[in-house]
A and B are shown apart, each in its own frame.
Chain A
């Protein structure tokens, strides 16, 4: 590949949550590395041949690290490939996709991790970091080869959207993972308490005649996990927190010094159960969208750092699994391309600041997974995005890059989006 020219992104608001930097200045990129980010580098202080891009009224931030995205390789390439997902990611400002292991076959042995990394290297235009399965075939019975998988390149261990219901299995995994400093990521939903439920339990479910899922189904599993983390001293990350009850449990765990972090999906931070309207299946996600009080609690938790990470929970579903009655439709929503813009809603409404939002979408996930991105420090890989925070646009499903169009923000009006995405110094996406 031809070396990219050095680039100076000039006159921008530079936000680097990794060192609480928020200044107006310039950022210099050369040889795929961030050289410096400060006030007044100017066109005079750059190497010959540097491309100078005026970024007045724009924001420069570390590329986003999406900690939870389902990609259909291997086994479901009709839903998404690394190629299509990475195009969507680039358009959404995501420079690292952390893909999930609930594929077919599951990513539960080192050879599959290797396959994924090679496929991503050959076909994706952004970085791809796989999580591996926590238990073999995601069955929740036997733990996978955590050590070998980590050595092969797995950045964390999870059973995707399945919960490990057997407390003994979870205890041993947390204990064993400690020896490899491996991060366990867990989807907390008690499948028995979920039962046949398809949306949040409450008045709206009662009116629609849909069976409800109580928030307690999530909180119970999280509470159990906190006891196990206390017992094992393992490293634990709650994959998708959705309700106020779980936040209280999380608060207590963090206050008592447990090595626990948590993520919330962009869907749960910006939508609630009422958005389901008249059985809109694109709003069917797992865990389900909750009440407005829960959403407000999540936003507050994001502000005080209780929620560490915002992820897209990207889950492409094709038309035939979504054009069904609500109870029969598949759960999941795409999100790589809209995560940042949806998050900007919270910024424009005054609920969170831009640095808080960007920290949860880049710096924190990179830290938790030990990835090199999420920062604009000199010497860091040049994974950088340029955001126009004020440009209005409408989400048109036909223009989305993902293979599937199941976006809950179908036709939604947005303010702000990524205008340039740079991966390892090279611009891979640019909008006019």
Chain B
């Protein structure tokens, strides 16, 4: 067993439902703790015992590979008993309501529930009915707090700071919980945020969430320190929101040329999974300025930090 982390940060809340409402101090506390787990995760012995005896249930009502795997690994490395439930195997498919599923689970006394759901607000609804800690692993188009935290950790490690940077988020802002959580976090940490997208993919009122809005990539990427690309789902590219894949890539897909509009040392991020050739060109995705693989690594570390910091606040901790 390795030693306990040096950081004694406690997230003094029962749940992590979103970035909204977190203070800069709390965000920094989580990032500092996450930083320690990065080192741990690179060791041969990655095991800690801080969640020993705790039960963590990952409940994914929406398919996910990386987020679920990341939470599973994070819980196991901290010593928790981790159980995965996915939509295909759960009774949600048998017509049970969300609340009933929650009450059933509640009776099994989990300590931490990690939830992803396709409806905005669903995780908050669940949390209001449960006795355990709830972590939002993405709810509809609302929030995805651990993604924003891992993005922040990635940025801080590579730029040494978050405050004062210009972060440009490009693509399907309308349907993106990643964008919302990042906008809130980056604002809280003192970064400048700009969004670039076709107008059909921008939610009306977005300019009042503390972002600059640009419609084309040359103007949008100017002076960018970080370029964060978002996934565009295929069913939204057939004429409903944008006319076609090729038109979208032509105007908003990130290739070498468009990346050159940003600062020379700009770094590229993507929450994954990527649509190569739709929102991002392979040369950029795999290039020297890309942080995409590091984001995945930070994902495990930051989820360990969230689990650890929340568990320190659990009863009998």
**Does the CB pair A203–B208 fall under 8 Å?**
yes
* Interface check A202, CB cutoff 8 A: yes
**Does the CB pair A209–B205 fall under 8 Å?**
no
Q: When chains A and B are docked, how far (Å) is the Cα of A207 from the Cα of B141? A: 9
Mask for B53-67, Cβ within 8 A of A = 1, else 0?
000000000000000
For B142, the closest partner residue in chain A by CB is A209
Q: When chains A and B are docked, how far (Å) is the Cα of A245 from the Cα of B155? A: 45
For B207, the closest partner residue in chain A by CB is A203
* Interface check A327, CB cutoff 8 A: yes
**Does the CB pair A323–B119 fall under 8 Å?**
no
* Interface check A325, CB cutoff 8 A: yes
**Does the CB pair B120–A206 fall under 8 Å?**
no
Instruction: Give the residue of A209, A214, A324 whose beta carbon is less than 8 angstroms from that of B97.
Output: A324
Instruction: Give the residue of A212, A279, A320, A325 whose beta carbon is less than 8 angstroms from that of B203.
Output: A212
Q: When chains A and B are docked, how far (Å) is the Cα of A207 from the Cα of B97? A: 26
* B281 surroundings in chain A (CB, below 8 A): none
Count residues of chain A with CB under 8 A from any CB of chain B. 22
**Does the CB pair A325–B121 fall under 8 Å?**
yes
Mask for A321-354, Cβ within 8 A of B = 1, else 0?
0011111100000000000000000000000000
**Does the CB pair A325–B204 fall under 8 Å?**
no
Count residues of chain B with CB under 8 A from any CB of chain A. 24
**Does the CB pair A326–B121 fall under 8 Å?**
yes
Q: When chains A and B are docked, how far (Å) is the Cα of A325 from the Cα of B115? A: 14
**Does the CB pair B205–A323 fall under 8 Å?**
no
* Interface check B99, CB cutoff 8 A: yes
* A210 surroundings in chain B (CB, below 8 A): 120-121, 140-142
Q: Which label, helix, strand, loop or mixed, suits the secondary structure of the B interface?
A: mixed
**Does the CB pair A320–B204 fall under 8 Å?**
no
Q: Output the least CB separation between B17 and chain A (Å).
A: 9
* Interface check B117, CB cutoff 8 A: yes
For A207, the closest partner residue in chain B by CB is B209
* Interface check B105, CB cutoff 8 A: no
* A176 surroundings in chain B (CB, below 8 A): none
* Interface check A208, CB cutoff 8 A: yes
**Does the CB pair A279–B209 fall under 8 Å?**
no
Q: When chains A and B are docked, how far (Å) is the Cα of A392 from the Cα of B316? A: 44
**Does the CB pair A209–B98 fall under 8 Å?**
no
For B208, the closest partner residue in chain A by CB is A203
* B142 surroundings in chain A (CB, below 8 A): 208-210
Residues of B at the A interface (CB closer than 8 Å) are: 20, 97-99, 117, 119-122, 124-125, 139-143, 177, 180, 203-206, 208-209
Apart from A205-B205, A325-B125, A326-B121, list 20 A-B contacts with CB within 8 A. A201-B204, A201-B205, A203-B205, A206-B204, A207-B20, A209-B140, A209-B180, A210-B140, A278-B121, A278-B124, A279-B121, A279-B124, A323-B97, A323-B125, A325-B117, A325-B120, A326-B119, A327-B119, A327-B121, A328-B119
**5 closest pairs, A vs B, by CB?**
A209-B142, A325-B119, A279-B121, A203-B205, A209-B141
Query: 9 A-B contacts, Cβ less than 8 Å apart?
Result: A205-B204, A206-B205, A206-B208, A207-B209, A279-B121, A279-B125, A324-B119, A325-B122, A327-B120
